[in-house]
Amino acid sequence: MKILFVSSEVYPLVKTGGLGDVAGALPAALRAMGVDARILMPAYPDAMGRATLTGRTLGLGDPLGVGETRLLEGTMPDTGCPLWLLDCPPMYERSGDPYMVYPGNDWPDNFKRFALLSKAAAMIGAAGDLMDWRPDVIHAHDWQTGLVPAYLKAWSVRRPPVLFTIHNLHYMGIFGQEILEIVGLPLDQFSINGLEYHGLVSMLKAGIQYSQAVSTVSPSYAREIQGPQEGRGLDGLLRQRGDSIHGILNGIDVDAWNPLTDPYLAAPIDPTNPEPGKAANKAALKRQMGLDGNGSTPLFGIVSRFVEQKGIDLVLGAIGRLLGEGAQLAVLGSGDRNLEYELNRAASHHPGRIGVHIGYDEHLSHLLQAGSDFLLVPSRFEPCGLTQLYALRYGTAPVVRRTGGLADSVRSVDEGPDGTGVVFDHAFIDAVEWAIGRAVSLYRDPDAMARVRRTAMAQDFSWKRSAEEYFGLYTDLMARD
């Protein structure tokens, strides 16, 4: 089975979020199962620097009229997975964030950059003599690759089926109608039954419309986006495609996140006897975050981007309750300037009780997961979410809203003896307050807390499980082809 992964980011070459994690880990997990999975991504300078290149190249000409384009052959640095970097310097020779000129401002030519990525994938997939490797399935990810099946549909060639995975429906890849001519797609695709979205082009919609199957990164999110609330105007189309929409929960890198061997931890955490390791990491985390008191204070942690989706404003609204319960808060993250300011302000008003670190810090994120008693994830929506999965693995009980992947991965302590966290329903401050109170009462019952920790640490979120589900999906698509 030959699968081509197309993604605008792949960890550890370039990553801005969960998409990068998936695009790095899933091909490797599939290769371990004997699948010939290969990756195509843009040759950003960071990617060129980190990949192992063989020196072999394959010219693609100038498919979009934006410059000579080549495939640079290589392998991933850690897993050895085969890789093609799509080289077109006028498009990709830009350092830093792959999408933005500076925070909050996308590159104005993103439609060309990602149309070129999509077109190159379609060229590899289309029958022809481009190379002696032709994928059985193209697995495309998010709006940046939504045009892959649009190109394949427009060309009258034998074409492999496309599986299009939505990691976040919020980002739709919206551009003006005029781009169609520039990227070389037929104007008849600009219709309600094509890639038109309220008078504009949506590359995400193209991916949903023209691919042979669609998946999302959790079963609950697959259902939610078929409703008006989370469907963002695409719910009608998604309902139409209902039979072809699949929800597969992401896995995590269980080697990078191993509580017994993680070098960023102050002490290992033994899943069969977590308490000593948890206590040592909690003490180290409190020291690093400037929190006072002894180890008996319940400690809530947050690791997050600060965007509306993540509900950080709800936590700010519930801080009075958190402190009133005698708890402490450690926050790591960055994003919305206003939220950064408000969190820093809360920390300066309550020194020793609230610790805030603004920025991206891989090391601290591991210690925070290991040292907290609870991880707060009050997302308004959450396609999958990874932080709650890391928390479970490190014996930290997630306190989550019942949405998307959070609902699929955390079992409420109020719904049976095998609960792994606290689950609340509404994105309101008083619901977060209730959840904080529930978590603290759990904490004050050491036997119940110990049971939750052990149950949490026994969960299996390895990529092997998810990769097997994708394997089944590819097999179905190939049988239909």
Binding segment (CB under 6 A) for ligand ADP, from list 56-64, 107-115, 332-340, 411-419: 332-340
Count of residues that bind ligand ADP according to CB under 6 A: 16
303 binds ligand ADP (CB under 6 A): yes
Q: Is position 103 an interface residue for ligand ADP (rule: CB under 6 A)?
A: no
Nearest partner of 259 among 382, 371, 145, 136, judged by Cα: 371
The residue from 330, 332, 413, 452 that contacts ligand ADP (CB under 6 A) is 332
447 binds ligand ADP (CB under 6 A): no
Side-chain-side CA neighbours of 233 within 13 Å: the count stands at: 13
Asked if residue 170 binds ligand ADP (CB under 6 A), the reply is no
- Among 62, 80, 233, 360, contact with ligand ADP (rule: CB under 6 A): 360
Find tokens 């009075």 and name the residue: 320
Cα 42–Cα 2–Cα 14 angle in degrees, nearest 5: 25
- In the complex, the smallest distance separating the C-beta of residue 305 from ligand ADP, rounded to whole angstroms, is 5
In 94-234, where does DSSP find H-type helix? 110-125, 148-154, 179-183, 203-210, 219-224, 228-231
From residue 261, give the alpha-carbon distance in Å to each of 270, 277, 452: 10, 12, 22
Kindly tell me which residue out of 27, 194, 311, 333 binds ligand ADP, with binding defined by CB under 6 A.
333
Pairwise CA distance, residues 18 & 192, whole Å: 30
Tell the smallest beta-carbon distance from residue 177 to ligand ADP (Å). Answer: 30
Please state the closest distance from residue 335 (CB atom) to ligand ADP, in A: 9
Name the segment binding ligand ADP (CB under 6 A); options: 112-120, 198-206, 385-393, 461-469.
385-393
- Contacts (CB under 6 A) with ligand ADP, residues 23-82: none
Token pair of 67 as six digits: 């410059």
Going along 62-131, which residue ranges are E strands? Answer: 69-75, 82-87, 100-102, 105-106
Radius of gyration of the chain (CA): 23
Q: Beta 100-102 vs 374-377: how paired, if at all?
A: unpaired
In the list 160, 173, 378, 385, the residue contacting ligand ADP (rule: CB under 6 A) is 385
Question: Segment near ligand ADP (CB under 6 A), from 45-53, 345-353, 383-391, 473-481?
Answer: 383-391
Distance (Å, whole) CA 2 – CA 37? 6
From candidates 6, 14, 18, 395, binder to ligand ADP by CB under 6 A? 18
Q: Is 118 in the site for ligand ADP (CB under 6 A)?
A: no
DSSP label at 270? B
Instruction: Find the Cα–Cα–Cα–Cα dihedral 362, 364, 365, 368, rounded to 10°.
Output: 170
CB of 257 to ligand ADP, least distance (A): 9
Helices 18-32/463-480 angle, 10° precision: 80
Residue 177 contacts residue 201 (beta carbons within 8 Å): yes
Tell the burial category of 88 from Cβ atoms under 10 Å away from its Cβ (0-12, 13-18, 19+): buried
Find the helix or strand (DSSP H, E) in which 216 lies. strand 213-216
Answer for which of 387, 403, 455, 466 binds ligand ADP (CB under 6 A) is 387
Q: Judged by CB under 6 A, which of 36, 97, 270, 361 binds ligand ADP? A: 361
- Name the one range near ligand ADP by CB under 6 A: 262-270, 303-311, 411-419, 451-459: 303-311
Nearer to ligand ADP, 212 or 365 (CB): 365
Q: Which of 386, 429, 435, 442 binds ligand ADP (CB under 6 A)?
A: 386
SS3 state at 72: strand
Residue type, 192: I
Under rule CB under 6 A, residue 304 binds ligand ADP: yes
305 binds ligand ADP (CB under 6 A): yes
Q: Which residues bind ligand ADP (CB under 6 A)?
A: 17-18, 303-305, 332-334, 360-362, 365, 384-387
